[in-house]
Amino acid sequence: MKKVLFFGLFLVAGLSQAQIAVTRHNNTPIANGQVLAFNTIDYPQAELDFYVKNLSSSPVNVRINCMTLTNSDGIGFELCFANECLSDVEEGNNYPVNLPYLTIPAGGQSGNDGHFLNTVAGVAPYPKDYAFRFFQAGNPTGNTVDVTYRYDPGLSTADIQQLQETGVLIKATTISNELTLDVLKASTLQVFDFNGKLIAQQNLPYGIQIVDTASWNAGVYILQFTDAYGNTSSKKVIKG
């Protein structure tokens, strides 16, 4: 009985310590909660390739959940994973469909087929957001990695960079009485003046948010965003 109990405890401990990470095919890490934005449906520019990596000393069983679709029905959004390539995705579904999961050996990674790709421009409204979660099947205490693919043909290269860094798009960095933010990831906003004094703080839910800046003095301000995953980023704005 003691041997069985010990083995069970060892197995649970091994599962709880199992860790996965997600990277691009060039090994650039994809952070938990990261937004990756695209303004085209052309291949390969619109492809978000990925590896799922097993950082633990035991095999892990991985699936991908389509958490939410915003302004899209998922038709024409390609997901390839575990040697299964689908031309559409559906909110709430887990992938792969024809396998219970993909087993990744200790220290190993998923195959070269892994990618997301939006192939349909569709019609307004934009943006079109596809939120996915990489998770460990059968291990509720294992870590997860959330990734959002955004398609918006109106995004500039600078917009794409800003979204990837902060998950929030600042519509204009020179402001007067209000600051307009396009929030992709729910975040907390802290505003600091040029001397580092905190002058404002508020929660930012998903969507277009308007921050009243009428009471701010003219000058330079630092906006610090912190998302639900603990990722932080900063941007500068100027109040005229």
* 177 and 71 belong to one structural domain: no
Angle (nearest 5°) at CA 44 between 158 and 85: 125
The CATH number of the domain holding residue 192 is 2.60.40.3080
Q: What is the pTM of this model?
A: 0.84
* 141 and 56 belong to one structural domain: yes
* 145 and 218 belong to one structural domain: no
Query: For the segment 139-182, what is each residue's pLDDT rounded down to a tens digit?
Result: 999 999 999 999 999 999 988 988 888 889 998 899 999 999 99
pLDDT at 228: 85
* 176 and 73 belong to one structural domain: no
pLDDT at 17: 64
Inform me whether the pLDDT recorded for 2 exceeds 80: no
**155 CA to centre of own chain:** 17
Last residue of a domain, one of 151, 168, 196: 151
Query: For the segment 30-79, what is each residue's pLDDT rounded down to a tens digit?
Result: 999 999 999 999 999 999 999 999 999 999 999 999 999 999 999 999 99
pLDDT at 230: 87
**Would you place residue 18 in the very low, low, confident or very high pLDDT band (cuts 50, 70, 90)?**
confident
Last residue of a domain, one of 151, 182, 199: 151
* 116 and 72 belong to one structural domain: yes
* 28 and 145 belong to one structural domain: yes
* Residue 83 falls inside a structural domain: yes
* 178 and 200 belong to one structural domain: yes
* 131 and 180 belong to one structural domain: no
Eight-state DSSP code of residue 71:
S
Inform me whether the pLDDT recorded for 231 exceeds 80: yes
* Residue 175 falls inside a structural domain: yes
pLDDT at 167: 86
Last residue of a domain, one of 94, 117, 151: 151
Query: What is the phi-psi region of residue 230: left when phi exceeds 0, alpha when psi lies from -120 to 50, beta otherwise?
Result: left
* 123 and 49 belong to one structural domain: yes
d(CA 22, CA 145): 7
* 60 and 146 belong to one structural domain: yes
Residue 201 belongs to what domain range? Answer: 157-239
Inform me whether the pLDDT recorded for 218 exceeds 50: yes
Query: For the segment 74-126, what is each residue's pLDDT rounded down to a tens digit?
Result: 999 999 999 999 999 999 999 999 999 999 999 999 999 999 999 999 999 99
Please name which of 175, 165, 147, 186 lies closest in space to residue 238, comparing C-alpha atoms. Answer: 175
Tally of structural domains, the chain: 2
The CATH number of the domain holding residue 91 is 2.60.40
pLDDT at 13: 45
Residues 34 and 48: beta-carbon distance below 8 Å: no
* 110 and 162 belong to one structural domain: no
pLDDT at 123: 95
